[in-house]
Amino acid sequence: MGAMADRLAVTKGHGTENDFVLVPDLDGALGLSPARAAWLADRRAGLGGDGVIRVVPTERAEESAVRDQAGVARWFMDYRNADGSAAEMCGNGTRVFAEYLRREGLESADEFVIATRAGAKQVRREGGQWTVALGPWRLVDPVTADRDGSDARVHIGDGEPFSALSVDLGNPHTVVALPEGVDLAGLDLGRAPLVRPAPAEGTNVELVRPIGPGHVAMRVHERGVGETRSCGTGACAAAVATSFWAGSLDTGATWRVDVAGGRLTVHLLPGHGVELAGPAVLVADGSVPLALLPD
């Protein structure tokens, strides 16, 4: 049970400093409202995190599309953004979720499948890190992207807009390749970038600076969160977009993606597949009085 009498069990973890509050709900009786998820993620009033992950049996998920994955995945990663809204996927969160399942004995193999709102994802442990197969990516507007090299414009602050590419990895991303002379570290991500055309469900925005062959640096503003130290699916989107601009998609390339919280490795597979590899760390366990949680 996630709830122990009058307290809620919690674990804090991170993947390249993209941090999460994990809430075990092992019989599916607890649930997690948007207000409670937002409180847990609040860095002042609550525990603090870029997101909240409820650990729940797939067969007990609220969404029928998730329950349909129960035949291949025992556990559902019920991921919530810091504002409490539900999200389809989180690459860093997937690895942290896998680490938690292994530590708690809920999974014992080095390779298994977890359920997400973006479909079942296979994870495997290799050399102290986790690799997750994120499945196929797609360009949101391939016709415009092939014709113009971009399909969106991104405004950062009051400056001129940057050209960008929209990439779907189960969740939405808009990737900007910064022009020469624009300082990646100097851009203000204190407020959300303005994306045109505006995606209906919002988007994560990645700002990318090439460093060398197969190597980029990235900053990210995540929808419903703000700037974070890392974004796993965002790193994959950055690798896809940079490969697209270089004309080298589907070549089996491996990319190093430097983020504020460390380094991630992205493998681009033939057939528009992608894998993400990186660390996952569980840093603390505790409990929270249920009386503090909002209704």
Q: Which residues are catalytic?
A: 90, 231
CB 53 within 8 A of CB 76: no
CB 117 within 8 A of CB 156: no
CB 265 within 8 A of CB 126: no
Here the tokens at position 110 are 């080095």
Sequence-distant (6+) residues with CB within 8 A of 184 are 178, 207, 209, 217, 219
Q: What's the CA gap between 81 and 175, in Å, rounded? A: 20
Strand (E) or helix (H) holding 124: strand 121-126
The residues with which 23 forms a beta bridge, in sequence order, are 54
CB 80 within 8 A of CB 32: yes
Instruction: Give the single-character DSSP code of 178.
Output: P
